[in-house]
Amino acid sequence: MRMTNRLAKHKDNYMLFMRVYTAPFTNNQAERDLRHCKIKQKISGCFRSWQGILDYCNLRSFLDTAKKRGERLMDSLRSLISPGVPAGQ
């Protein structure tokens, strides 16, 4: 019953990709972005500390953003460590 209510309430959003061609067809990108955290959690069983979670999420976010921008990951990390050196140098 809840699913049908939600579909009725948000019907314009479910078929948005048919009217707005730049809208993504699925939310696969969001799911792919979260997959790393779930796999890490499954393999390790858990995160050891709250700070570990924050550090892991910050690093993954930085690397995913660099990847989406088409930057080389090692250059991005190098520029993070040595801010005065431009990426690719």
Q: Are 56 and 47 in contact (CB under 8 A)?
A: yes
Residue 72, token pair as written in the block: 């080389």
The C-alpha torsion from 57 through 62 and 63 to 65, rounded to 10°, is 120
Task: Identify the band that residue 70 occupies on the pLDDT scale cut at 50, 70 and 90.
Answer: very high
Domain residue ranges in the chain: 1-46, 48-83
Quote the longest CA-to-CA distance of the chain: 58
Q: Are 75 and 88 in contact (CB under 8 A)?
A: yes
Give per-residue pLDDT as tens, 4-56.
Answer: 888 888 877 777 777 887 877 677 777 777 787 778 777 877 778 889 888 88
> Residue 48 belongs to what H/E stretch?
none
